[in-house]
Amino acid sequence: MSDASMIIVDDVRKTYRDGLFRRQKVEALKGVSFDVKRGEVFGLLGPNGAGKTTLIKILLGIVRKTGGQATLLGRPAGERAGRQRVGYLPEGHRIPQHLNGNTALEYYGSLSGLSMSQIRQRRPESLATVGLAEWGKMSVKKYSKGMLQRLGLAQAMLHNPDLLILDEPTDGVDPVGRAEMREILAQLKGQGKSIFLNSHMLQEVELVCDRVAILHKGKLRHVGDVKDITTLSGAETEFLLEGAEETIRGIIDKAAVLSWSGAGENRFQVGLRISAQPDVDRTVDQLRKAGISICRMTPRKLTLEEAFLQLIQTQTDDQSGNEQPTEITSFGAES
Ligand SMILES: Nc1ncnc2c1ncn2[C@@H]1O[C@H](COP(=O)(O)OP(=O)(O)OP(=O)(O)O)[C@@H](O)[C@H]1O
């Protein structure tokens, strides 16, 4: 792992002990490894109970890991020196209702050890970055959910950290608020900040993240570039074909048909779940050999949501006990 890594997670394990006499074991993380590089926006994804919050809490030293190694800005996770350069927005944070934007930043800034003069010096810039420059004197009771999340982000940025850890930053925020949050995150990335975010909003993640890790039941299922995940096998190719329906149906793999519709006399719009080049080539060769005209052929990328669901579904069905995360080259091919 390189020096440029802001976060390194290496075979991290966490077992909670629960129930009567703490006899019940919950394996929340079963050996998770990845790293987050300087300057990237990295998304941690996974269904409920996957272990995302546990991992964030281990990084921040809120929860103690059972095994493995985790470092934050080159220091062991939980150590003060690393944590001081991190800004954290917790999931579902609540800002006391008697505060306004300015006093909220005073409250949180002093909790994280800043002096009042440091807070007052940094506050205007933090509020301006999140688009709340005019709202400092307004009671937080008047803030929308999106504004509260942005104020939470201003709080996380107040001490000018190198790394931001954001747990569900757009939870409960409407589409306009989410677009605003995306813009702010892009701006922060432009300023060289590294961002590690945990979100259920896969459309958001697709728009904002460079790379993602997918956790499922405490195991890392996949780690890689968003653009690679959405263009890998499992994606669809749409054909506009002209020729006898019977001939076309005889050639194409029935199991790969995602959609079929008529588009005029002897013309058919056919969506096939194929994107690997050899499979596309073979289909094209067979169609041409049978005298079918290929009027149009359009590859369609998966959305991150489709890729995520497919991956989780594939691995839920996997009875092989394979513990390895999918390699980027074999995504969707693994069973
Ligand atoms: N303090 C705890 N004691 C016992 N079990 C816990 C504790 N915290 C979490 N767990 C369990 O560990 C597993 C992972 O939980 P975690 O909250 O990390 O998942 P998550 O991916 O963040 O889920 P969500 O998206 O719902 O927030 C779950 O089975 C959860 O019930």
Looking at this predicted complex, what is its ipTM? Answer: 0.97
Residue 178 Cα to ligand 1 middle (Å) = 25
pLDDT confidence tier of residue 334, bands split at 50, 70 and 90:
very low
The answer, yes or no, to whether any atom of ligand 1 lies below 6 A from the CB of 16, is yes
Task: Please check whether residue 136 is in contact with residue 104, taking contact to mean a CB–CB distance below 8 angstroms.
Answer: no
Question: Does the beta carbon of 198 lie inside 6 Å of ligand 1?
Answer: no
Q: Measured between alpha carbons, how far is 111 from 96 in angstroms, rounded to an integer?
A: 14
**C-beta neighbour count of 227 within 10 angstroms:** 13
pLDDT at 112: 80
Assign residue 297 a region (left: φ > 0; alpha: ψ between -120 and 50; beta: otherwise). Answer: beta
Closest alpha carbon to 179 in 134, 131, 235, 225: 131
Residue nearest ligand 1's atom 16 by CA: 51
pLDDT at 120 over 90: yes
Residue 90 near ligand 1, beta carbon < 6 Å? no
Beta carbon of 56 within 6 Å of any ligand 1 atom: no
Tell me the pLDDT tens digit for each residue of 219-275: 998 898 887 777 655 678 889 999 999 999 999 988 889 889 998 899 999 998 886
The rounded mean pLDDT for the chain is 86
> How far apart are alpha carbons 233 and 211 in whole angstroms?
18
Greater model confidence, 230 or 47 = 47
How many CA within 13 A on the CB side of residue 270?
A: 28
State the fold for domain 5-223.
Answer: Rossmann fold (3.40.50)
The protein residue whose alpha carbon is closest to atom 26 in ligand 1 is: 48
Residue pair 199/119 in contact by the 8 Å Cβ criterion: no
Between the CA of 283 and the centroid of ligand 1 the distance, in Å, is 46
* Position with higher pLDDT, 66 vs 237: 66
0.90 cut: is pTM over it? no
CA of 50 to the centre of ligand 1 (A): 7
Residue 323's pLDDT is 44
pLDDT at 222: 87
Mode of pairing for the β-strands spanning 219-225 and 211-216: antiparallel
Give me the residue spans of the domains in the chain: 5-223, 236-300
pLDDT for 274: 80
**Ligand 1: does its nearest atom lie under 6 Å from the Cβ of 283?**
no
pLDDT of the residue at 231: 66
- pLDDT: is 51 or 331 the higher one? 51
Could you give the CA distance from residue 303 to residue 235 in angstroms, rounded to a whole number?
9
Tens digits of per-residue pLDDT, 275-305? 677 888 899 999 999 999 999 998 877 778 8
Q: Which atom of ligand 1 is nearest to the CA of 91?
A: 27
**DSSP assignment string, 126-161:** HHHHTT-GGGTTSBGGG--HHHHHHHHHHHHHTT--
Cβ burial, residue 276 (10 Å; 0-12/13-18/19+): middle
Residue 324 has pLDDT above 70, yes or no: no
* Across 23-27, 80-84, 118-122, 186-190, least confident range: 80-84
The span from the CA of 197 to the CA of 20, in Å, is 34
Tell me the residue length of the chain.
335
Confidence of residue 206 (pLDDT cuts 50, 70, 90): confident
Q: Give 207: exposed, middle or buried? Use CB within 10 Å, 0-12, 13-18, 19+.
A: middle
Cα(304) to ligand 1 centroid in Å equals 24
Instruction: Kindly state the average pLDDT of the residues 313-325.
Output: 51
Cα of 53 vs centre of ligand 1, distance in Å, is 7
CA 330 to CA 335: how far, in whole Å? 10
Q: Is the pLDDT of residue 212 over 80?
A: yes
pLDDT at 93: 85
236-300: CATH topology is: Alpha-Beta Plaits (3.30.70)
